[in-house]
Amino acid sequence: MILMKFYFQAKRSHNSRIANELLMYFRAKKKHSKEVSLYEPIGTDKEGNEINLLDVIESAPVDIVEDCYIRENTDYLLRSLKKVLSDKEYQVICCRYGLFGMEEETQREIARKLCISRSYVSRIEKTALQKLRGLFPQIQ
């Protein structure tokens, strides 16, 4: 009788461990149930080829020529700043637009730093930008 009792307790214990393992498995599976692979098939096209999510997701077209053109013009502009602008214009533009590792600043902050009026900073910035636009006559 005692042996029989021990057998049923052991069997119940074994069953509860299996049940526990199953519960842990289902909980782990539930965490990942919302994850979707980009390569997961979502259907077929007219020819019967499998379509996956990656095929359907739109990405912006990359114009390599345009990117190179912009990068080249930006490099030219940054190299020309010192040559084209006066020291004060250079300082205002660098502070205003955060060039060469500087923090972007408002006209008011620049005016306070240079001990000039905000409207004068605005005029300096406007003049400097006109000079810089002159470097690219094809754009105007």
pTM score over 0.75: no
pLDDT confidence bin for 90, thresholds 50/70/90:
very high
pLDDT confidence bin for 4, thresholds 50/70/90:
very low
- Rounded Cα distance between 34 and 52, Å, is 17
C-beta separation of 65 from 80 below 8 A: no
Does 26 have pLDDT greater than 60? yes
Instruction: Give start and end residues of each alpha helix (H) in 85-140.
Output: 87-97, 107-114, 118-133
Tokens standing for 24? 């842990």
Query: How do residues 95-134 score in pLDDT, each as one tens digit?
Result: 999 999 899 999 999 999 999 999 999 999 999 999 999 9
